[in-house]
Amino acid sequence: MKNKIVIIGAGPAGLTTALFLAKAGIPHTVLEKSTFPRDKVCGESYDGKVFHTLKRLHDAWPAQLIRAGILTPLWEYRLNHLPHWEIPVSFSSDHTPRLQGRRSDLDQALLQHLLSYNLTEWRPNTQVISVERGQTDYRLNIHGQPNILAELVVYAGGGATTKLNSDVGIPKRKNGLIYSRIHLQVDNDQLPVQPINIRFLRNPIPACLVICPLPGGYYNIGLGIRKKDYIHLDGNLNDWLNRLVDEEIDRLPTGIFVHRMNKPSGAHVQLHHYSNRLSGLGWVVVGSAAVEVNPVTGMGVGNAMRSGELAAKAIIRAIANKENLFMAGYSSYASSLKRSLRSEIRFSRILTALQFHASWLGHTMPFIWKSRRIQRWLQQPDVVSNFLNPQHYWRK
């Protein structure tokens, strides 16, 4: 049987596309190679776009997810290079909060909400091996299962360098970090809720340690290192993470019990990536396969959800205009995504270039961060648009 709309990948991008289609009453199929709930190595801290996309899906949803202990709102984080400097950044609680929560829980909540519409053919354990364009439809070759035909393919397979990604034209990742993550659980109520702590290290290794509090007394501890430093690393990044975690635990007051919930596992983080092939005939690319643009925070879930929402809008429009889904070009999706993320893409390019090509930056960073002006700037709710707004620099 031919499926009209097939979404490959059930991460935040694929699920958000499906959720907006379901909200508009449009049936579709979601193919996912894993079984759910599934873990995904991630810093598990999400920007305001996640909050607003959830709200547009269902006004009460952010509050419900917070009440259910799936997400925690936070208005404070701390950047530091101890013992030299520390910058607390806090927003007023009138501003959109950052949300923290385990990816397995968040993705599962998105899936459950989607299935409640009864418009999704949900196919976990279904890995697409290749996609071929025919005369009237796409043929999706599935590992160990019969082929699937689709009029429109929404590709939401994430940004990893895989054969399918390169076959469908997703560029290889260039600049990036190697990242290792572990989950800890601190016996509940023993520690007050901490802000997110982003710690720049020179010693013992040039890396960035991110400590992110999660609901239920969990902590996500991640260690990221630039690829070019990684190749000179003495030993394994997972072992370094374990060692740094031991040091953190030693610093805690006695009587606080910390459990390691899993072994460190690693991933590659793309700092700046933007695909030029966002849409084509019967074809749309969403999520980190399409765009990953925040090198300061590494936050990509907000962009993934935003792109899913915009793709769904373009599909809904094509259906309303009675276009042939296989022949429609969805160019309004590509242009609206570029418009929506333009300032972040520029910001990302500049910062990535600085991080990777300016060796002087390492020495000047402490002075830059310490400046009062930078501190005030960091405390603005929308750092990116301020960075790109010339008037911001003229203001006294």
Ligand X SMILES: Cc1cc2nc3c(=O)[nH]c(=O)nc-3n(C[C@H](O)[C@H](O)[C@H](O)COP(=O)(O)OP(=O)(O)OC[C@H]3O[C@@H](n4cnc5c(N)ncnc54)[C@H](O)[C@@H]3O)c2cc1C
> Which residues of the chain form contacts with ligand X (CB under 6 A)?
8-14, 31-34, 40-46, 127-128, 156-158, 164, 179, 267, 269, 287-289, 292, 298-302, 304
Which residue, 225 or 299, has its beta carbon nearer to ligand X? Answer: 299
Q: Give me the least distance between CB of 264 and ligand X, in Å please.
A: 11
Which residue, 14 or 264, has its beta carbon nearer to ligand X? Answer: 14
Which residue, 104 or 386, has its beta carbon nearer to ligand X? Answer: 104
Q: Give me the least distance between CB of 358 and ligand X, in Å please.
A: 24
Which residue, 84 or 338, has its beta carbon nearer to ligand X? Answer: 338
Q: Give me the least distance between CB of 133 and ligand X, in Å please.
A: 17
Give the DSSP letter string of 257-286.
Answer: -EEE-S--EEEEEESSEE-S-SEETTEEE-
Provide the token pair at 22: 């379901």
Q: Give me the least distance between CB of 300 and ligand X, in Å please.
A: 2
Q: Give me the least distance between CB of 100 and ligand X, in Å please.
A: 9
Handedness of CA 310, 76, 206, 266 (dihedral sign): negative
Which residue, 76 or 323, has its beta carbon nearer to ligand X? Answer: 76
Q: Give me the least distance between CB of 393 and ligand X, in Å please.
A: 28
Q: Give me the least distance between CB of 305 and ligand X, in Å please.
A: 8
Which residue, 44 or 137, has its beta carbon nearer to ligand X? Answer: 44
Selection from 59, 3, 13, 5 nearest residue 309 by Cα: 13
187 touches 254 (CB < 8 A): no
Q: Give me the least distance between CB of 320 and ligand X, in Å please.
A: 26
Which residue, 135 or 146, has its beta carbon nearer to ligand X? Answer: 146
159 touches 169 (CB < 8 A): no
Q: Give me the least distance between CB of 220 and ligand X, in Å please.
A: 8
- What does DSSP say about strands 145-155 and 2-8: parallel, antiparallel, or unpaired? parallel
Which residue, 299 or 341, has its beta carbon nearer to ligand X? Answer: 299
